Amino acid sequence: MNANYQSGVIADANSDALFVTLNVVEGSNRAVKQALAQSQGVIDAMKQQFSGQSLHAVIAIGSEYWPQISPLKRPLLLTNFPSVEGAVEMPITPADLLLHIRSDRHDITFELATRLIALFGSHVAIAEEVSCFRYLDSRDLTGFVDGTENPQGDHKKEVALVGEEDSDFEGGSYIHLQRYVHDLPKWHAQTLKAQEDMYGRTKADNIEYSSADKPLTAHTKRTSLKDDQGQSLEILRHSMPYGTLQESGLLFASYCRTPENFTLMLKSMVEGDGQGHGDRLMQFTTAVTGQAFFAPPLTWFKELG
């Protein structure tokens, strides 16, 4: 696969990130299209200016907005955020655009966001902006290491990037975004053993339970799925903690060459295995947003111009 992908899709994790969701102002589609065509130039200029700071960005288009910006050509598998039914609610809160910016310096992350927002100008309205950070040694605020099962090296491309199966969008990626608010007082009231059973791995040294010892309601049990051929269904997670002293949690971000893997994982967590075994971790956190986007390949932005 050639390097026809936005760098932020597969770049290694950073210590700082900003997720900004935007809605396009009515009557602004043409102006937004022009801004999108210029956006990669803005990103490239800043990456050159601050080389060595691991600055990366992804600009993605919301599933419901896609027909407004590209009515004649659509990614084959692009659908809206999945609807699931269960004891836990997973809200669907569409947004038109996503800016996912990350680096190893908060000021640089913020500066690129400022420049991109200036590029779109009054033609967009910010729906939400969430500033994220690396917590300790890449842990969630619950104290457990996050992203342990992420693909590594070149395998990230195989998992996250659309291939020849959709040649018009090869190098693109399907994104699902959710913001979770943790109930940390309730979580910290649990015993260490109860917490570890809910994750299916140890807390201090991050050792996964054996399959025989893993509860059916463990998070790792509910999200470790296989297809009919016995192959693991993988996603590339770019999730990061966020928070203030009043509200905190996880900004969950899934990147994948197909939206199906995330959908199956979400259903497994919420709807369970049909025998009442859902993800017990969901009793300690609440999803407040849910969005589906597609991050186009670089050639798509050039064609807009």
What tokens appear for 96 in the block? 């038109």
Strands (E) in 40-197, as ranges, are 56-62, 97-103, 124-133, 173-182
How many other CB atoms are found less than 10 A from the CB of residue 162?
27
Look at residues 258, 231, 237, 249 and name the one whose alpha carbon lies nearest to residue 146.
237
What are the residues whose beta carbons fall under 8 Å from the beta carbon of 192, sequence distance 6 or more? Answer: 203
Active-site residue, selected from the candidate residues 96, 146, 197, 279: 146
Distance, CA of 68 to CA of 137 (rounded, Å): 42
Name residues whose C-beta falls within 8 Å of residue 244's C-beta, 6 or more positions apart in sequence: none
Q: At what angle do helices 29-49 and 106-120 cross, to 10 degrees?
A: 150
- Could you tell me which residues come within 8 angstroms of residue 106 by beta carbon, excluding any fewer than 6 positions away? 16, 131, 133
Strands 248-256 and 173-182 come out as: antiparallel
Active site residue 137: no
Q: Are the beta carbons of 284 and 197 closer than 8 angstroms? A: no
Residue 228, Cβ density class (10 Å: 0-12 exposed, 13-18 middle, ≥19 buried) = exposed
Closest by CA position to 124, among listed 216, 264, 25: 25
The tokens for 214 are 């893993």
Residue 71 tokens read as: 């009515």
- Contact predicate 102/21, CB 8 Å: no
| Cα 183 from Cα 181, distance rounded (Å) | 7
Question: Catalytic residue numbers?
Answer: 146
